[in-house]
Structures are given as C-alpha cells and as structure tokens.
Chain A
Amino acid sequence: MKTILVVDDSRSLRQMVAFCLTSAGYQVSEAADGVEALEITQGQQFDLILTDQNMPRMDGLAFIESLRTQTAYQKIPILMLTTESSDEMKAKGRAAKATGWLVKPFDPEKLIAVVKKVIS
C-alpha cells in the first residue's frame, strides 16, 4: 500500500485530505507543520508528500527545501496544497522542487487523480 504524508496546520483540512486518500486506498500519516513533518520523515519513507504553505514554525517551501536535501526524498513527489495562488508563489514552489501546486479548496476527485498520476 502506498503511503502519503499530509502536512497542514488545520486539523479539519488534514482530516478531509486523509479521508479522501484513505478512501482511495492509500495509507495516510499526518503532521501539523514542517518541523513535525521533518521529524516524521527522518524515521519513515513516504511515497508522496502533500503539504500546505502557511504553517507555524516551518512553512511548506522551507520544508520542501529541507526535505530535498535528504537523499531518500530527492525524487519523491511533493505536492503543495495551499490557499496561495499567485504566480510568484508557484514559481517559488517550482524553484524549491515541488512536483505540483493545488489551490484550496480542493476537489476530492481532482486530488485523487493528481495523486494517482504523480505517485505512479
């Protein structure tokens, strides 16, 4: 079973993403910010990371940049799921080596389709 780490400071959002992905057959772990996510990724390998941008302690871009320095996570797909929709922020995401950018609110069907596409 493919494993996905969902990183978001909103508990309700994490729960909804986890619900959709679990229903689609994925195993989901959760983290509330970049710092917690980095701690989790130290001890576990995931097949995909789905992260928010604006979070306390460490935001999504800083988290991706840090994660990409780890050999185990250089090729793992990382999707941003955020309220941020500006071209400037998307460019920063691309520079940080994110795989894609999804703007909230997310549509469960589209989310699952994108996850399927990048995880394969």
Chain B
Amino acid sequence: MKTMDDRIESATVVLLSKLSDIIDSHLLEAVDDVCQTRLILNEAIIKLERSFYGIQDELAKQHRLAEATVNDAGQDRLTAHLHQAIIGLQFHDLTDQLLQRVNARFDGLREMLVVMDYKKTMVSGHDQAEDISISLRKADETLTALSVKLQLTLSKSLRQEHMGSGDVELF
C-alpha cells in the first residue's frame, strides 16, 4: 500500500511533467504564430515599399515633365506626405525587433520548462522523500538562474510607444 508521501510524490511528478508538456506545446504554437506574423509583415512591407517608391518615381517624372504647372505649395505638400510615409513605414523595423524579442522569450521559457519536468531532472541516489525535495530545490535554483540570464539577454532597449520621430543629439 502506498504511503501519503508516495502518493504526493507520484502526483507531483505527473503534474509537473504534464504542466511542462502542456505549456511547451502552447509556447511552440505561439512561436509559430509569431514567425508567421513576421513573414506576413515582411511581405507586406516589401509590397508597400515597392508601391511607395514606384509612386514617388512616377511623381518625380511627372513633375519634371510638367515643371511649370506644379507650384511650390503642391510640391511641399507632396514632400510632407512622402516624409510622413517614410516615418510610418519604419513600423516594420520596430515591430520586427519586438517580435524577435517575443520569440526569444518564448524560447527561454521553453528552456525553463525542461527544468520543471520532474521525470527529466529527478535526482537519484537518495530515498524517495529526499529525492523530490532535492530535485525541487535544484529546479528552483536552475529556474532562477535561467530567468536572470534571459532577462539580461533581453534587456528592453526598444521603448517607443508611438511612431513620432525620435530625438537627435550631436555630441
């Protein structure tokens, strides 16, 4: 007959392994979604850029052909729109960096989940009650170390929350 400690250990092993598997499968799906988002964004920006530069080229040609008919105010308005479009198109660079960070964080979390899988990290050579206690303590230490490492690797550098142009500073 199983003792209470045996039953707790058995349940903990099952729970930690199952939890690790479930979270890992969802994180894997999330990684796939982010990769797919990056692909779509990348293709969208290539199409947008192609159209944008095409329009700009056509406008420049028409402007040269009918220079006398395009007034300065009209040209200024075109330039202003052009500049705003260039600022706006930079969303791709910013969002791509953020998506890469999200994926790197998912990878880090999946690495941590391996530690939580008791079946894979179980310490042997002790009696059963001691085993689980040692393994959990070791898992806790490893998780803390991995979390710190991940945080250091992914220290937040991109703080932009809008698409207004950034500061300029000459040293």
Q: What residues make up the interface of A, taking CB atoms closer than 8 Å to B?
A: 8, 10, 12-13, 15-16, 19-20, 53-54, 83-86, 89-90, 93-94, 98-110, 114, 117-118
On whether the beta carbons of B96 and A16 are closer than 8 Å, the reply is no
A86 to chain B, nearest CB (A): 8
A to B contact number (C-beta, < 8 Å): 97
**Residues of B in contact, count (CB < 8 Å):** 30
CA distance A8 to B90 in the complex (A): 13
On whether the beta carbons of B171 and A108 are closer than 8 Å, the reply is no
Say if the beta carbon of B15 comes within 8 Å of chain A: no
Given the known interface contacts A12-B49, A83-B158, the answer about A20 and B86 at a Cβ–Cβ threshold of 8 Å is yes
CA distance A118 to B167 in the complex (A): 16
On whether the beta carbons of A99 and B170 are closer than 8 Å, the reply is yes
Report chain A residues within 8 Å CB of B78: none
On whether the beta carbons of A100 and B171 are closer than 8 Å, the reply is yes
On whether the beta carbons of A12 and B89 are closer than 8 Å, the reply is yes
CA distance A75 to B90 in the complex (A): 30
CA distance A1 to B103 in the complex (A): 43
Closest Cβ neighbor of B42 among chain A residues: A12
Say if the beta carbon of B69 comes within 8 Å of chain A: no
CA distance A18 to B167 in the complex (A): 20
A24 to chain B, nearest CB (A): 12
On whether the beta carbons of B171 and A101 are closer than 8 Å, the reply is yes
On whether the beta carbons of A104 and B160 are closer than 8 Å, the reply is yes
CA distance A89 to B53 in the complex (A): 34
CA distance A85 to B83 in the complex (A): 22
Interface hub of B83, B159, B170 (most chain A Cβ within 10 A): B170
Report chain B residues within 8 Å CB of A100: 168-171
Say if the beta carbon of B165 comes within 8 Å of chain A: yes
Given contacts A83-B97, A105-B163, A108-B82, 18 further A-B contacts (CB under 8 A): A10-B92, A54-B157, A83-B157, A83-B159, A85-B159, A85-B166, A93-B171, A100-B170, A101-B168, A103-B168, A104-B93, A105-B91, A105-B160, A105-B164, A106-B87, A106-B165, A108-B87, A114-B170
